[in-house]
């Protein structure tokens, strides 16, 4: 279940609309604006905008201060690297759950998401800002589905947060064709192994995929996994590690 489904239609539309403003260049990261201005840009009432901003603030994506305004925060390389490491750890837990699944029911549920990655390999090689964002959004959504199916909604939402912040990070740190090809190549290999239930290979290829992400961010490959200080991620991580 994605963030939009969890929030409901109106709040979900407002949530995605605010991010789309940044992607489309109508609202730059760090640019101060107001709840009223956002509502006007999205042609929505202020109530769902206010509720969506509250969720985004809770997730550490926006900053909002009385008499000052609201703005989408820039994502720094260190935070992105930490989120990538946490995302990798969560996906590993999901992979372990698949290995222990004797009936393999997850396979048919995941097949559309996994096959979507293979389709992206042929259709998403572009440096265009919007095309690149569509690629990152679709790719992270497929990984969110994998984790949700493996270990539940809490894990899936952690991956969703990684995916959203990755989109924002690459707005200011755009990927070139070589980088996109590198991400796709590692992801396609991982996906292919998972589709064939080659779980040992999939574990190794998942590590390669996230190593590629860290290289593109410019982070040390063997950096320790420290959960970022954002409250929802910290709570979700604690819940996950206590229950799995």
Residue 178 corresponds to which tokens in the numbers above? 């070589």
In this structure, the answer to whether residues 167 and 137 fall within a common structural domain is: yes
In this structure, the answer to whether residues 13 and 129 fall within a common structural domain is: no
Predicted local confidence at residue 183, as pLDDT: 84
Domain boundary (41, 72, 103) is at 72
Is 125 a residue whose pLDDT tops 60? no
pTM for the structure as a whole: 0.82
Q: Which residue range(s) make up the domain with 51?
A: 3-72
Average pLDDT, the chain: 80
In this structure, the answer to whether residues 62 and 116 fall within a common structural domain is: no
In this structure, the answer to whether residues 81 and 68 fall within a common structural domain is: no
pLDDT above 90 coverage of the chain, percent = 27
Domain boundary (48, 72, 96) is at 72
Predicted local confidence at residue 74, as pLDDT: 93
What is the average per-residue pLDDT within 55-78?
Answer: 91
In this structure, the answer to whether residues 129 and 203 fall within a common structural domain is: yes
In this structure, the answer to whether residues 106 and 212 fall within a common structural domain is: yes
Domain boundary (72, 96, 112) is at 72
Per-residue pLDDT of 156-166, as tens digits, reads 989 999 999 99
In this structure, the answer to whether residues 31 and 149 fall within a common structural domain is: no
Per-residue pLDDT of 29-64, as tens digits, reads 999 999 999 999 999 999 999 999 999 998 899 999
In SS3 terms, 12-70 reads as: HHHHHHHHHHHHCCCCCCCCCECHHHHHHHHCCCHHHHHHHHHHHHHCCCEEEECCCEE
Per-residue pLDDT of 180-191, as tens digits, reads 888 888 888 888
Predicted local confidence at residue 107, as pLDDT: 66
| Tally of domains in the chain | 2
């Amino acid at each position: 279940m994605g963030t939009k489904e969890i929030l409901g239609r109106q709040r979900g539309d407002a949530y995605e609309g605010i991010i789309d403003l940044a992607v489309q260049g109508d609202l730059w990261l760090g640019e101060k604006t107001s709840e009223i201005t956002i509502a006007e840009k999205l042609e929505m009432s202020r109530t769902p905008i206010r509720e969506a901003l509250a969720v985004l603030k809770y997730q550490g994506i926006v900053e909002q201060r009385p008499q000052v305004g609201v703005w989408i925060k820039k994502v720094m390389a260190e935070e992105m690297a930490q989120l990538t490491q946490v995302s990798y750890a969560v996906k590993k837990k999901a992979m372990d759950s698949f290995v222990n699944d004797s009936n393999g029911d997850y396979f048919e549920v995941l097949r559309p998401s996994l096959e979507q990655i293979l389709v992206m390999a042929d259709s998403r090689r572009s440096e265009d800002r919007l095309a690149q964002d569509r690629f990152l959004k679709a790719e992270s959504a497929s990984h969110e589905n994998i984790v949700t199916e493996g270990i539940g909604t809490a894990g899936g939402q952690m991956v969703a947060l990684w995916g959203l912040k990755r989109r924002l990070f690459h707005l200011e740190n755009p990927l070139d064709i070589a980088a996109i090809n590198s991400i796709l190549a590692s992801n396609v290999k991982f996906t292919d192994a998972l589709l064939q239930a080659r779980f040992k290979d999939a574990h190794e290829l998942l590590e390669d995929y996230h190593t590629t992400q860290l290289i593109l961010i410019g982070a040390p490959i063997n950096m320790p996994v420290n959960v970022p200080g954002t409250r929802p991620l910290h709570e979700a991580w604690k819940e996950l590690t206590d229950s799995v």
